[in-house]
Amino acid sequence: MGQNQSRLFAANQHSGYCVQANSTWTRKAFLLNVLKEMGITPAKTNYGMADQIAEQLALSGKPLIIDEMDYLVKKGIVEVVRDLYEGSNATVLMVGEEHLPSKLNAWERFHNRVLEWVPAQPCDLGDARALANLCP
């Protein structure tokens, strides 16, 4: 299963909003991509867009799934993610490289809010069969 398929599978399993960050994203690009995933016309300011996202997360009860979270850490966009969490109290699932927890240590207020760190596990034959049944 390719990376995009994995993201879609995760979003479908958790009925969530899923974005895949990339190395060129700014705060505005992150917010715009989340709003695009939500199907919402963006406000003109970053503040307005963050409010729109937090409101939609709170109303929908859906989680926000962020793949490649390491890019947001590297760009210092972590506080924007925390703002979305604080404004919505929604679940935020972060997918990243194995050193993501230690990278987030620099943002103590963020790191302390993480409920559980779950490392990826190797896929076994049972997992492969289950995934194969989900793919057309």
Question: Residue ranges per domain, the chain?
Answer: 3-134
Q: How many helices (H) and strands (E) does the chain have?
A: 8, 3
Mention every residue, 6+ apart, whose C-beta is less than 8 A from residue 8.
18
State pLDDT tens for residues 106-119: 887 776 777 777 87
Q: Mean pLDDT for the chain?
A: 85
Q: How far, in Å, CA of 25 to CA of 39, rounded? A: 19
CATH match of 3-134 with 3.40.50.1820: no
pLDDT at 2: 45
Measured between alpha carbons, how far is 106 from 6 in angstroms, rounded to an integer? 29
Q: What is the pLDDT of residue 122?
A: 82
pLDDT at 6: 47
> pLDDT of 8-18, one tens digit each?
454 455 579 99
C-alpha 110: how far from its chain's center? 14
Confidence of residue 5 (pLDDT cuts 50, 70, 90): very low
Residue 107 or 19, more confident = 19
The model's pTM is: 0.79
Q: Bridge-partner residues for 91, per DSSP?
A: none
Beta bridge partners of 94: 66
The SS3 call for residue 92 is strand
73: alpha, beta or left, given left = phi > 0 and alpha = psi -120 to 50? Answer: alpha
User: Which neighbouring-strand residues pair with 64?
Assistant: 17, 92
Which of helix, strand or coil describes residue 94? strand
Task: Please state the separation of Cα 66 from the chain's center in Å.
Answer: 2
What's the pLDDT band for 7 if we cut at 50, 70, 90? very low
